[in-house]
Amino acid sequence: MQDKNYINIKDLSPQEIEDFVLNNNSKPFRARQISKWLYKKGVDCFDDMSDLSKDFRDLLEFSFSLEPSLELEQEQVSEDGTKKYLFKLSDGNQIESVLIPDKSRNTLCISSQVGCALGCTFCMTGTVGKIRNLRPSEILDQYLLVNKYNENAITNIVFMGMGEPLDNLENLVKVINVLTDPNYLALSPKRITVSTSGLVPQIKKLGEQVSVNLAVSLNAPSDELRDEIMPINKRYPIKELLEASINFPVPNRKYLMFEYVLLKDVNDSDIDAHTLGKLLRGIKCKINIIPFNEAYPLPYKSPSWDRVLKFQEILISYRINVRIRKSRGSDILGACGQLAATYPSIKVKEPQAQI
């Protein structure tokens, strides 16, 4: 068995917890009892799992850790009610999560990595570079702790925080299984959205393993332009990305989503809109137009509101479902593309994933 300080029990998938129970000659229902204490009761000590035998609690104590993987360092509240949370990890690195309240929902934007390897030129996280993947416990604790800090329960989750979720696919799938398992957190797959900058092989793998919504960060209508602002396009160009995205099995009655960050005088012209309309015409999708959220030292500017409306108008003329995403939390650097956190001078790195 592993030393208890080696693995957090929340790093295990539902199947792995059940396997542990069965491998230790206990009944399958013990796994459901453990899940209740971990994810519904929120205990932080194995001894509090009162309906488990003393021997089994001792076994869990010997085998696993249950300490929180995150420590809240700062909470900021925007003028619009958006909340940004800065969390410290056990190795000293930091990540951010954003809670976006609305009338009918509370959406939590979750980070999946410390930094990001993809280097999109309009994203603050990309300026950090990739430090490491987050473990399942570190991803789940964002949800569990933010839920604990707020009266209104989280209803929706978007993996659009720091990092490229599909560059941490194995851990992401574990987390989604915990989030959606009826005996664990029991969230509907329709309420979970995974965003990607375009890791084509992983899009297929994600669709084969779990059911979630997919949001593709497109941001350019041509390979030439996308190569400049999203280096991943040089490996997986738009044609390959669209093919993988169209074949992704989104949940029933849901649409494939494309995200398009409008950068003034870069990708916001009438020609860009027409090219994008022709590219996506006939695809069952929605486009979220996101006016760029300015943040130093990124070099881009946000277009005028008239330009945003004109861009939307052109896309609608191609019979495409288009909405303009309202910026939330920009005054606390909590809006799309603004998450970067602050980092200590010494950063613990893992080997870079091959993308």
pLDDT of residue 337: 66
User: Could you count the other beta carbons within 10 Å of the beta carbon of residue 127?
Assistant: 15
Q: Which residues contact 336 (CB under 8 A, 6 or more apart)?
A: 160, 261, 290, 293, 325, 327
Q: Is residue 16 flagged as an active site residue?
A: no
Give yes or no for residue 345 having a pLDDT over 50.
no
**How many Cβ atoms are within 10 Å of 194's Cβ, its own excluded?**
26
Pair type for strands 94-101 and 83-89 = antiparallel
What pLDDT score was predicted for residue 140? 97
Confidence of residue 125 (pLDDT cuts 50, 70, 90): confident
Q: Is 135:70 a contact under the CB 8 Å cutoff?
A: no
336 tagged catalytic: yes
Tell me, what DSSP letter sits at residue 303?
Answer: P
C-alpha distances in Å from residue 264, one per residue of 111, 162, 268, 269? 27, 24, 6, 9
The predicted structure's pLDDT at residue 203: 97
Q: What is the spatial distance between Cα 162 and Cα 124, in angstroms, rounded to a whole number?
A: 9
- Tokens 């206990």 locate to 26
Contact by Cβ (8 Å): 285, 294? no
CATH fold match for the domains 10-63 and 70-332: no
Q: Do residues 172 and 166 make contact, with C-beta atoms less than 8 angstroms apart?
A: yes
Q: Which of 96, 138, 164, 259 is catalytic?
A: 96
Hey, CA dihedral for 97, 226, 274, 305, is it positive or negative? Answer: positive
Per DSSP, helices labelled H in 3-99 are 14-23, 29-35, 54-63
User: Cβ neighbours of residue 180 under 8 Å, at least 6 residues apart?
Assistant: 186, 187, 188, 189, 192, 210, 211
Return the CA Rg of the chain. 21
pLDDT of residue 198: 95
> Which of 109, 120, 285, 336 is the catalytic position?
336
Phi, psi of 157 (to 5 degrees): -130, 135
Cβ contacts of 327 within 8 Å, gap of 6 or more: 290, 291, 293, 335, 336
If one looks up domain 10-63 in CATH, what number appears?
Answer: 1.10.150.530
Q: What is the CATH number of domain 70-332?
A: 3.20.20.70
Say if residues 117 and 166 touch (Cβ distance below 8 Å): no
pLDDT tens-digit series, residues 63-115: 999 988 999 999 999 888 899 999 999 999 999 999 999 888 999 999 999 99
| DSSP β-bridge partners for residue 290 | 261
The domain limits of the chain are 10-63, 70-332
Say which amino acid occupies 175: V
Q: Which residue has the tokens 């881009």?
A: 300
What pLDDT digit, counting tens, does each position of 279-310 carry? Answer: 999 999 999 999 998 887 889 999 999 999 99
∠ CA 64-19-201, nearest 5°, is: 95
- In Å, how far are 87, 88, 94, 97, 159 from 73, measured between CA atoms? 5, 6, 9, 12, 21
Q: Which residue has the tokens 């108008």?
A: 313
pTM summary value: 0.91
Mean per-residue pLDDT of the chain? 90
